[in-house]
Structure 1
């Protein structure tokens, strides 16, 4: 499958057309048939993922409206390995493509998955910014730059909604870290908000017209975002013209009157929300006008109409014009390869060529064989996605070591050593570990009510239970089965979750007690639960009965989330870490090339918790350093969704960043490492050389609950350029590819002068940058156009992807929007044109500028 590139931010006719009059009329007619109680019932979820109010169904033909998480895959209403989903590359990977065609394709695949799972609205994309790499959810957002984020976010929204599914950009606004995210109060001045954090939302709303938007948990300048009339009613709806439904983040609605007056249309999940009978009472007491309820309900009805669940109202995208189905695995494989960023490539060690083979065996006169040594746990257990609500369970994940083994030519010897395990927690027990497990559900009367075979030791049901069982009837869940170890020794079993557990193995009770949550975040019970580890001596081949019992009635079946989530973990008998490193070093010393896979773990990059270090976990740095000492052709593959420190980066031949590449990541890595595909990505965020060099560190609010964005509008590459200090390891926009490029010419043409009126994306200049592929193979280049003087105020204005054969030239055509030449003035509360001539700078990164030109633009405002 080939992903096409296109001009960034170009809306389709379906996006720009006016809403059909009969749709609006049908919404008004439906609203008129509902009394106050029925209208209010439209404003709160019926259950975890859906809205299905009985009165609206009978009186107005309102069908069941289903939501699903979806930044990197669509779960539907189930969230378990038994209901697999296609896993896309993480949003940082999509950001690294710098390609609107790729983002749009990802959106179409999300829509396809949503339709297959019965979901009408996908909770994506995440268009918060990479304010600092300490943000734990960094991998779920596109970039540190608002222009790149907004353009790619708009393209993904377009792709989703072309598929007839509603997109929900999130989290509006300034949810750029996880610490105390329910209560933190972000403090930022108007310029900082307008030019950075609101900017991608403005771009997406104005150009892609999303059908829904999600309010963030946090407060901004003293007001929680689910009640923020200034930023919702004034900016989002008033200035930008957003007519979609504003949905709370799950459990994010706090106040009945505050949410209603603040413009929150839908409080999720249900059935117990701040609306319902509370809002009916508030209207009758005169605290909320019924006209306010009408406005909220009208937007929910419009969302239902657009996705085709409001009576006989035709959906916004008829079935006959939905794009043709995509091959999911092939699509994610191509997207992954396009996202990989080649950070370093000394002596063109990549792609792996035949190179120098080992000498022939004198005794047997066998032909020379080429040897490749692979090490690092991530080579066999690739981290395909980040932790938290973006996580899905794919049917299959390709591992790099297996994919390489299948792709290498005959006569190549591939060896593998995992090295030390960098994880501090045990992962779920699997079939490969020797476990066969079944989940058995028991009612409050102790009778069995359902059972489900398990793919692994992870039990996770959200919003629904196997066999249609009810959460209210559930008393306990037993994970039962047998463990047959492959080798003798002291094995490790773990219990992860919140609540009461009893773990039995053989005739021993290893644990019988209560695990308490480690934070006040309600999501912590399933995102980052506590874990206890126990030792079990077992003989190879001898089956051991195991049973993990979770009593759920004591802490409420599912609690606020309608959720059961716990796991039986497993760890094989431990081998000393020094010995594991020595094994990897010995195999690397005897090989022609060495590939070392490193990366983050579930504990270090996940929703619900921020990072406290950028260092790779465990002894991965030691592994790389030792291998590099014995093999000069050492290639390091970094499997991380956010920046990590690489103290060895100058000592290895090549560094390839693969992000969290989705389910086909192993196959895509084999394609790129062996040269069948080019690493097409460029960094969407700046990578530091040392933690102390970071321009923005703070993610923890002060004792008053406030988190000041004291750095103002200078984050990412702007902050690095402003600071008089160390340089980063790799700049925003950096990426090498497998060929070289010459920048030959830069031509700027002014467009008809625009005003700062209704269209901030009206073009003020057209730029053509001619580049030539000066290498020996076809390649792909990302041409980046920055605007402004050399310094902190020079920002990304436009970008384009071009392709050319070896020796051929290509023209990158870039459109500069009005907003790129404007600044926000807090004193006048308006946008104004920056004074002086505009400097246009084209290049390969924020620090690698190849061509410049100056032009005095006749821009008003």
Structure 2
């Protein structure tokens, strides 16, 4: 241990106190030993430091900071160096705001397009997500502070996220859902990891010895700190045993007492606590060094320009019929759409950034060469239909040469804590587009949203630009693309299916009650579409340019692949070349091809460059469930260089010697997986894959409700009061949604309806304790008067204990317990 001498000076109580927060965002300090507290802040795409009235839901305004494009947007750049530079800027701002740990990036896989937090994640591909995250981590940590990769692991739905049990086979877990974290740890060298809310194969991730001890600490040699997601601790002692250093937010000392009691009664050894304290002290001491130096002021204009640069390289051109783009400066342009007036530029929830500036499309238009003849709103962003708005938009469109239409998803549709109900763009926007097409077919649509959507209108637009959620400078970046000042170079980091029913997880998303089964195995995203020959609207890795690129002269050896790229067009541009590998053996089921490398190349018109993409330790490996380790199958491998996952430009073969591991599967028992058509696997075949029975996926409605049951389950509670409360919550949500208070309605679903009862304690910062919760559960389970007596008794004890502590420490409480 690095701080053994210091730890020996600490009392058991002091060591335990470091294991949970001091308040909502800060760690505990020990003044007598010169151990300071450190500050953690949300920040996947911008610092969200709340100076007052802290919350984890994005309710209260934070200090101003640069709002960079979200991870879903940045991923489309396919540019590690750009991600590292953005991380560098994030790190500078974190230091300026005295933030020790920046809670990001988020690198969970996009298993389904409907996952509500997709805007905050990079990709459906673990290799791309891991590489981009590693670059961002290096940039953030170059300033001496810590990044915090999240959410570890297999956190792919928002509904019931704090209690859902994710059932996944070991091979899929390793190859798909842990690989990005592995890259972030080994290549990014992240100092901190955030555990996820959910359970994984029967154990909460924060307590899961397999991923926390065996893999994270054992295989990956991670020596940093694990912090819970806010309110994500279930059993604090079990979490400590798994190697969780920090529980957030504060529990006002309640869980510290649990740790002390567990050590005194021999449930866990004190050296486990010492190891966790040692790692936390290292994070404290190493990240506070930077604040001893004179901090520099941030040039907010420079950072705004950097946000624009990231957006410019991440925006994707999806369609350009008749070369309608770039826009001709002599054309009369009608600007239509609510998102042109009020941009959709970031997600919702804990990642909300209070921007330093916010470019507005209508203002930026005046600075461009575009001849705008006017603006019409066209539609209500929250879906309310209006014939008047459509008629006004059509009147303007008739006078224009080109219609520039800004459409997308609103802020309450894509939000932390809630999954989308479907992949559709609101119907009122589709009706507007249909009407515009009748009066002017020269439509360029600008799409703003954080994930894949269905695009039934694809044949009614000549141009389609996907801006994703492009940050505070997105409006100007979009116009730079539209006018040709910037040649688009973004490529999709996720597939766009034709319809939601085509997605591999369609039948198993989301898990509604106890568990969610990942029956599709490793066949997510393009791995499924390509292998099962399912058509998509736009494939993974797809994106157009205003120039053209030719690939030639492929050469493959044991170290990698070399080839030439030529800009065969008339303007300079950037091209993303993608390396895919496919094993030609049929002994072990695999996707048809998998991304194993990429590079982004800048080329002047007519220029040719020789490019090399090296192989690495992940190029040919697969996880063998019999040997329980990574193996290489001896076989011929198809080496492919493509402009997207469905556009292979160069191919060659290479034989690779294998490790000689035994075959892990019986082909006859897994027909869906060997065919790749794994979108509707039977429970029997899935159980064969995972090697055990799956748990019952529905709630046991005969048992009393407990700590990990949710408020939603009060619908069948024995207590009349609980059933009434459930109906009141449902009514409130429906009523608030109907009167337009959609954000508040969403908040009810996220922070009340799907919250497990223990969340009342874990998320209230010591206002309630577990004893009081026991009383509430008695009420819920039909023992109203006994429960109320217990609740009031525990409340009285808690207040007395708090007064005694205040007298002992000489402090006074600013807040009052319930």
Taking structure 1 as the reference length, what is the TM-score of the superposition?
0.73
Tell me the equivalent position of 1:427. Answer: none
Tell me the equivalent position of 2:718. Answer: none
Residue 813 of structure 1 aligns to a residue whose secondary structure is strand
Within 2, Cα distance between the matches of 1:805 and 1:590?
A: 38
How many residues are treated as equivalent by the alignment? Answer: 647
Pick from 547, 558, 569: which aligns with 1:775?
569
Within 1, Cα distance between the matches of 2:295 and 2:474?
A: 33
Q: Is 1:798 aligned to residue 597 of structure 2?
A: yes
CA shift digits 1:133-192 (9 cap, x unpaired): 010001100000000011011111111100221011000000011010000000001100
- Per-residue deviation at 1:320? 10
Residue 311 of structure 2 aligns to a residue whose secondary structure is helix
Tell me the equivalent position of 2:510. Answer: 700
Within 1, Cα distance between the matches of 2:299 and 2:528?
A: 44
Matches within 5 A, 1:371-386: 371-386=332-347
CA RMSD of aligned residues (A): 2.1
Q: Is 1:39 aligned to residue 39 of structure 2?
A: no
Tell me the equivalent position of 1:416. Answer: 375
Q: Which moved more, 1:614-623 or 1:846-855?
A: 614-623
Q: Confirm or deny: 8 A CA contact 1:89 1:335 kept in the other structure.
A: yes
Residue 302 of structure 1 aligns to a residue whose secondary structure is helix
- Per-residue deviation at 1:246? 0.3
Q: Is 1:675 aligned to residue 484 of structure 2?
A: yes
Q: Is 1:606 aligned to residue 415 of structure 2?
A: yes
| Pair 1:640–1:324, CA change in 2 (3 A) | closer
Q: Is 1:622 aligned to residue 431 of structure 2?
A: yes
Residue 785 of structure 1 aligns to a residue whose secondary structure is strand
CA shift digits 1:311-331 (9 cap, x unpaired): xxx569988999999921000
CA shift digits 1:478-522 (9 cap, x unpaired): xxxxxxxxxxxxxxxxxxxxxxxxxxxxxxxxxxxxxxxxxxxxx
Tell me the equivalent position of 1:835. Answer: 634
Q: Confirm or deny: 8 A CA contact 1:185 1:706 kept in the other structure.
A: yes
Q: Confirm or deny: 8 A CA contact 1:40 1:279 kept in the other structure.
A: yes
| Pair 1:724–1:84, CA change in 2 (3 A) | same
Tell me the equivalent position of 1:813. Answer: 612
| Pair 1:663–1:266, CA change in 2 (3 A) | same
Tell me the equivalent position of 1:634. Answer: 443
Pick from 842, 849, 855: which aligns with 2:648?
849
Pick from 60, 68, 71: which aligns with 2:44?
71
Within 2, Cα distance between the matches of 1:75 and 1:82?
A: 5
Pick from 525, 534, 550: which aligns with 1:742?
550
Within 2, Cα distance between the matches of 1:274 and 1:203?
A: 36
| Pair 1:323–1:117, CA change in 2 (3 A) | closer
Q: Is 1:57 aligned to residue 41 of structure 2?
A: no
- Per-residue deviation at 1:274? 5.8
- Per-residue deviation at 1:62? 1.3
CA shift digits 1:237-283 (9 cap, x unpaired): 01100000000000101113211212111000014366312211111
Tell me the equivalent position of 1:515. Answer: none
- Per-residue deviation at 1:812? 2.5
Tell me the equivalent position of 1:239. Answer: 219
Residue 51 of structure 1 aligns to a residue whose secondary structure is coil
Residue 171 of structure 1 aligns to a residue whose secondary structure is strand
- Per-residue deviation at 1:700? 2.4
| Pair 1:324–1:594, CA change in 2 (3 A) | closer
Within 1, Cα distance between the matches of 2:129 and 2:366?
A: 37
Q: Confirm or deny: 8 A CA contact 1:162 1:317 kept in the other structure.
A: no
Matches within 5 A, 1:331-350: 331-350=306-325
Tell me the equivalent position of 1:279. Answer: 259
- Per-residue deviation at 1:205? 0.6
Within 2, Cα distance between the matches of 1:30 and 1:401?
A: 59
Tell me the equivalent position of 1:472. Answer: none
Residue 389 of structure 1 aligns to a residue whose secondary structure is coil
Q: Confirm or deny: 8 A CA contact 2:631 2:658 kept in the other structure.
A: no
Tell me the equivalent position of 1:145. Answer: 125
Matches within 5 A, 1:174-323: 174-272=154-252, 275-308=255-288
Q: Confirm or deny: 8 A CA contact 1:45 1:267 kept in the other structure.
A: yes
Matches within 5 A, 1:385-396: 385-396=346-357
Q: Confirm or deny: 8 A CA contact 2:321 2:463 kept in the other structure.
A: yes
Name stretches of at least 5 consecutive residues in structure 1 with no aligned partner: 1-23, 309-313, 358-369, 425-573, 751-764
Tell me the equivalent position of 1:48. Answer: 24
Q: Confirm or deny: 8 A CA contact 2:634 2:656 kept in the other structure.
A: no
- Per-residue deviation at 1:384? 1.0
| Pair 1:416–1:187, CA change in 2 (3 A) | same
CA shift digits 1:616-674 (9 cap, x unpaired): 12411111222223223210000011011111112211100001000011111111111
| Pair 1:211–1:393, CA change in 2 (3 A) | same
Within 2, Cα distance between the matches of 1:769 and 1:321?
A: 44
Tell me the equivalent position of 2:79. Answer: 99
Matches within 5 A, 1:457-856: 577-697=386-506, 698-703=508-513, 705-725=514-534, 727-750=535-558, 765-789=559-583, 792-856=591-655
CA shift digits 1:70-106 (9 cap, x unpaired): 1111112336447322101010111110000111012
Taking structure 2 as the reference length, what is the TM-score of the superposition?
0.77
Residue 253 of structure 1 aligns to a residue whose secondary structure is coil
Name stretches of at least 5 consecutive residues in structure 2 with no aligned partner: 52-57, 585-589, 661-818
Q: Confirm or deny: 8 A CA contact 1:380 1:402 kept in the other structure.
A: no
Tell me the equivalent position of 1:167. Answer: 147
Matches within 5 A, 1:85-124: 85-124=65-104
| Pair 1:383–1:190, CA change in 2 (3 A) | same
Q: Which moved more, 1:217-226 or 1:395-404?
A: 395-404
Within 1, Cα distance between the matches of 2:417 and 2:194?
A: 17
Tell me the equivalent position of 2:367. Answer: 406
Tell me the equivalent position of 2:720. Answer: none
| Pair 1:243–1:855, CA change in 2 (3 A) | same
CA shift digits 1:521-575 (9 cap, x unpaired): xxxxxxxxxxxxxxxxxxxxxxxxxxxxxxxxxxxxxxxxxxxxxxxxxxxxx9x
Q: Confirm or deny: 8 A CA contact 1:76 1:118 kept in the other structure.
A: no
Tell me the equivalent position of 2:772. Answer: none
Residue 215 of structure 2 aligns to a residue whose secondary structure is helix
Within 2, Cα distance between the matches of 1:316 and 1:152?
A: 27
Q: Confirm or deny: 8 A CA contact 1:109 1:326 kept in the other structure.
A: no
Within 2, Cα distance between the matches of 1:420 and 1:349?
A: 24
- Per-residue deviation at 1:589? 1.6
Q: Confirm or deny: 8 A CA contact 1:81 1:394 kept in the other structure.
A: no
Q: Which moved more, 1:317-326 or 1:257-266?
A: 317-326
Q: Confirm or deny: 8 A CA contact 2:168 2:201 kept in the other structure.
A: yes
| Pair 1:317–1:592, CA change in 2 (3 A) | farther
CA shift digits 1:352-396 (9 cap, x unpaired): 123xx5xxxxxxxxxxxx421011100111111011111111132
Tell me the equivalent position of 1:28. Answer: 4
- Per-residue deviation at 1:214? 0.3
Q: Confirm or deny: 8 A CA contact 2:487 2:572 kept in the other structure.
A: no
CA shift digits 1:34-64 (9 cap, x unpaired): 11111111110000000132xx3321x2122
